[in-house]
């Protein structure tokens, strides 16, 4: 499920590093050229497509970037066991976020978390998507799932903070009693 040592989205790291070096030095045309070569060798790689979408977005080709990123999303859904890693998902998420399609990024993480229910890394990515969407209820549900999965108190405290945030946002007093119950449970 997660990327193996030396692999980036199922592709050897040595093949991906030159792309990120070109992106970091703002040589987007060169990065696109290397990515196109990579796609010829790995045509069914959602990570390679996500990289291409990322580069196209940085070049200002927004419509083309969205189209390529949607193709990467489709491949993610098809090749679930091979390529559903956090690196691919986070690259897709960045592109969708920059293109103002947060709901598409969230749906990718929801799908991944549905397939791999015990993966904390993916749940953290899903939680971050919900934070970007200001979806407090779903943030709270996700933190409770993470708490049940690993039993770390920090997730319980995150849930308390989210409840408090809901109180501030909605000006509704009922969640205070629920948050105090969470704290009492964590202390006991």
Secondary structure of residue 26 in the 3-state scheme: coil
For residue 5, what pLDDT is reported?
A: 46
The alpha carbon of 148 is separated from its chain's Cα centroid by a whole number of angstroms, namely 21
For residue 76, what pLDDT is reported?
A: 86
Q: Using alpha carbons, select from 136, 138, 91 the residue that is nearest to residue 113.
A: 138
- How far, in Å, CA of 101 to CA of 153, rounded? 32
Segment among 33-47, 54-68, 134-148, 158-172 with least mean pLDDT: 158-172
The alpha carbon of 114 is separated from its chain's Cα centroid by a whole number of angstroms, namely 14
Question: Could you tell me which residues are beta bridge partners of residue 11?
Answer: 8
In this structure, are residues 76 and 104 in contact, taking their beta carbons and an 8 Å threshold?
A: no
| Model pTM score | 0.79
- Give the pLDDT confidence of 108-157 residue by residue, as tens digits: 999 999 988 899 999 999 999 999 998 999 999 999 999 999 999 999 99
- How far, in Å, CA of 162 to CA of 179, rounded? 9
113-119 long-range contacts, Cβ below 8 Å, gap at least 24? 115/80, 115/84, 116/1, 116/84, 118/149, 119/1, 119/2
For residue 138, what pLDDT is reported?
A: 95
């Amino acid at each position: 499920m997660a990327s193996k040592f030396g692999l980036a989205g199922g592709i050897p790291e040595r093949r991906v590093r030159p792309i990120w070096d070109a992106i970091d030095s703002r040589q987007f045309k060169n990065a696109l050229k290397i990515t196109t070569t990579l796609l010829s060798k790995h045509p069914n790689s959602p990570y390679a497509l996500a990289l291409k979408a990322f580069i196209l977005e940085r070049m200002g080709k927004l419509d083309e970037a969205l189209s390529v990123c949607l193709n990467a999303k489709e491949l993610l859904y098809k090749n679930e066991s091979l390529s559903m890693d956090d690196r691919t998902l986070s690259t897709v998420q960045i592109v969708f976020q920059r293109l103002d399609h947060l709901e598409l990024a969230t749906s990718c993480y929801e799908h991944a978390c549905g397939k791999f229910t015990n993966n904390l890394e993916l749940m953290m990515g899903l939680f971050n998507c919900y934070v970007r969407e200001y979806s407090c209820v779903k943030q709270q549900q996700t933190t409770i799932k993470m708490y049940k999965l690993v039993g770390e108190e920090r997730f319980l405290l995150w849930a308390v903070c989210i409840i408090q945030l809901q109180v501030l946002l909605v000006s509704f007093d009922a969640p205070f009693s629920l948050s105090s119950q969470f704290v009492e449970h964590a202390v006991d």
